[in-house]
Chains A and B, each alone.
Chain A
């Protein structure tokens, strides 16, 4: 044994949290609106740690006093732990609160790129901008047939690198759950899709950074794209969910009941709103 024992370990880790996107402050409406929102899903928000995002924040005059904002959060039962996407002009205002200012959301750059080739994002996004996969993958292969000999060598090398990239993307693992997810249980597919072959019971929660597929009734909560991938989707064979969410935007069962209830359903985000479509709608 060494002279003194190490009493801690520093580790890197990912924590899923709720992001509070503040658009304007101070506002007299803020607290009541927040409390209203929290009361819609008290269990989901109870004592949740939140990150306050200033990405969409607008204010005429700086500095802004954020301390009452933090107090309002506590009042509504949320625990702010940091600020995110803080603009230069607001940096000083944020510092006086004592909470750290985290770098902005990682998604903005890469998400667009994946939309066309329909490639899910999981392996690439967290690093930041994911530029390396933005070129279209299939064009070089098509053009190969009618290029002159002299250029062939060059083309081949290009294809080889493309293939490598493609393989990297094809080899995306998914978390597969074959047994029912029961009330009180939580399953999180970190960095990948989640496939559940059995039911998700009331009171159970399934989360994924990517898409969620449930080949059975979904009666609990399903949250896709929990790290902010707004292209993530939820598919389920029988929609009876308590809550569905994509990239933090959620709807509760009351609202779901008018849409594809107890049917096979497909849920995605369009223009910051969740749309629910019945699969195989006749």
Chain B
């Protein structure tokens, strides 16, 4: 669906702008973030070790080699989800917030414990959805949980919501095989942060262990850069929403 890809790229984008950023992998048991960030070989301790007091943050955080100010807190591959306790997560987040400008929590899919822990302490949520009915419905569900079960909701406050549509393919929208951005916006009725076009660059980046935002030539990378800009209130027009018109030469070559 693109949650981890998005966490990696948004986190990297924040750090590129000079903000000290940490990305936390909440998907205990699966562990994907370190692969996408290309630091899987450097994982010694993990999030659960920190919660259990078996390691401190300094030992556990992995500093990214490409971008300054960027750190990764990997998930554990072996332990079960119950290892994430609310008190434990809160303690780690409190400690991190002393040092970091941004904490990006990469939530697992679904509405289970891992996801609930990832969203509980959120000030802002970026809901990643694909332009298909089932995905949009799941996003609607998670938005409900966000506004009823998060710490802000318990205090009667509202968590800021942003919508990010990934794997967007304008050609398939025209064919009626995918929902359009307008459809998704209408169903979810939240602010649109960005639309990431479906692209091989995303797959290539994941396989190479490099967040796609660093691939500045790709339209996906550019779309993520735009999205990060919008997070800071910049007015950037949405791109890659329409079918690319093939130029005369391209048509001639049948490309």
A and B associate: yes
- A residues near B (Cβ < 8 Å) are 179-185, 198-199, 201-204, 216, 219
When distances are taken between beta carbons in the complex, the residues of chain A under 8 Å from B158 are 179
11 chain-A/chain-B pairs, Cβ below 8 angstroms: A179-B147, A179-B158, A180-B144, A182-B141, A182-B143, A182-B144, A182-B145, A185-B148, A198-B189, A201-B140, A203-B141
Q: Given the complex of chains A and B, what is the CA–CA distance between A179 and B188 in angstroms?
A: 12
Q: Given the complex of chains A and B, what is the CA–CA distance between A185 and B149 in angstroms?
A: 11
- Chain A facing B: main interface SS: loop
- Chain B facing A: main interface SS: helix
Query: Which residue from B144, B145, B187 sits with its C-beta under 8 Å from A181?
Result: B144
Query: Which residue from B137, B143, B145 sits with its C-beta under 8 Å from A180?
Result: B143
In the complex formed, the residue of B with least CB distance to A201 is B140
When distances are taken between beta carbons in the complex, the residues of chain B under 8 Å from A202 are 137, 140, 187
In the complex formed, the residue of B with least CB distance to A220 is B140
B144–A184 contact, CB under 8 A?
A: yes
Q: Given the complex of chains A and B, what is the CA–CA distance between A180 and B158 in angstroms?
A: 12
When distances are taken between beta carbons in the complex, the residues of chain A under 8 Å from B145 are 182, 184
- B residues near A (Cβ < 8 Å) are 137, 140-141, 143-145, 147-148, 158, 187, 189
Q: Given the complex of chains A and B, what is the CA–CA distance between A185 and B145 in angstroms?
A: 8
| Given A202-B137, A203-B137: A183 touches B189 (CB 8 Å cut-off) | no
Q: Given the complex of chains A and B, what is the CA–CA distance between A18 and B141 in angstroms?
A: 26
Q: Given the complex of chains A and B, what is the CA–CA distance between A185 and B143 in angstroms?
A: 10
Beyond the given A179-B158, A199-B189, please list 12 additional residue pairs across the A-B interface where CB-CB is below 8 A. Answer: A179-B147, A180-B147, A182-B143, A183-B137, A183-B144, A184-B144, A184-B145, A185-B144, A185-B148, A201-B140, A201-B144, A204-B144
Q: Given the complex of chains A and B, what is the CA–CA distance between A246 and B206 in angstroms?
A: 53
When distances are taken between beta carbons in the complex, the residues of chain A under 8 Å from B143 are 180, 182
A183–B141 contact, CB under 8 A?
A: yes
Q: Given the complex of chains A and B, what is the CA–CA distance between A179 and B144 in angstroms?
A: 10
Q: Given the complex of chains A and B, what is the CA–CA distance between A201 and B186 in angstroms?
A: 11
In the complex formed, the residue of A with least CB distance to B147 is A179
Q: Given the complex of chains A and B, what is the CA–CA distance between A198 and B158 in angstroms?
A: 14
In the complex formed, the residue of B with least CB distance to A181 is B144
Q: Given the complex of chains A and B, what is the CA–CA distance between A185 and B147 in angstroms?
A: 10
Q: Given the complex of chains A and B, what is the CA–CA distance between A182 and B187 in angstroms?
A: 10
A184–B141 contact, CB under 8 A?
A: yes
When distances are taken between beta carbons in the complex, the residues of chain B under 8 Å from A182 are 140-141, 143-145, 147
Kindly list the 4 A-B residue pairs having the minimum CB-CB distance in the complex, ordered from nearest. Answer: A182-B144, A183-B141, A185-B144, A183-B140
Q: Given the complex of chains A and B, what is the CA–CA distance between A164 and B78 in angstroms?
A: 69
When distances are taken between beta carbons in the complex, the residues of chain A under 8 Å from B189 are 180, 198-199, 216
Shortest beta-carbon distance, A239 to chain B, in Å?
15
When distances are taken between beta carbons in the complex, the residues of chain B under 8 Å from A181 are 144
When distances are taken between beta carbons in the complex, the residues of chain B under 8 Å from A179 are 147, 158
Q: Given the complex of chains A and B, what is the CA–CA distance between A251 and B144 in angstroms?
A: 25
Shortest beta-carbon distance, A219 to chain B, in Å?
8
When distances are taken between beta carbons in the complex, the residues of chain A under 8 Å from B148 are 185
Q: Given the complex of chains A and B, what is the CA–CA distance between A216 and B187 in angstroms?
A: 11
Shortest beta-carbon distance, A253 to chain B, in Å?
15
Q: Given the complex of chains A and B, what is the CA–CA distance between A219 and B148 in angstroms?
A: 20
Shortest beta-carbon distance, B110 to chain A, in Å?
12
In the complex formed, the residue of B with least CB distance to A180 is B189
Shortest beta-carbon distance, B146 to chain A, in Å?
9
Q: Given the complex of chains A and B, what is the CA–CA distance between A111 and B188 in angstroms?
A: 39
When distances are taken between beta carbons in the complex, the residues of chain B under 8 Å from A216 are 189
Q: Given the complex of chains A and B, what is the CA–CA distance between A227 and B148 in angstroms?
A: 26
Shortest beta-carbon distance, B107 to chain A, in Å?
16
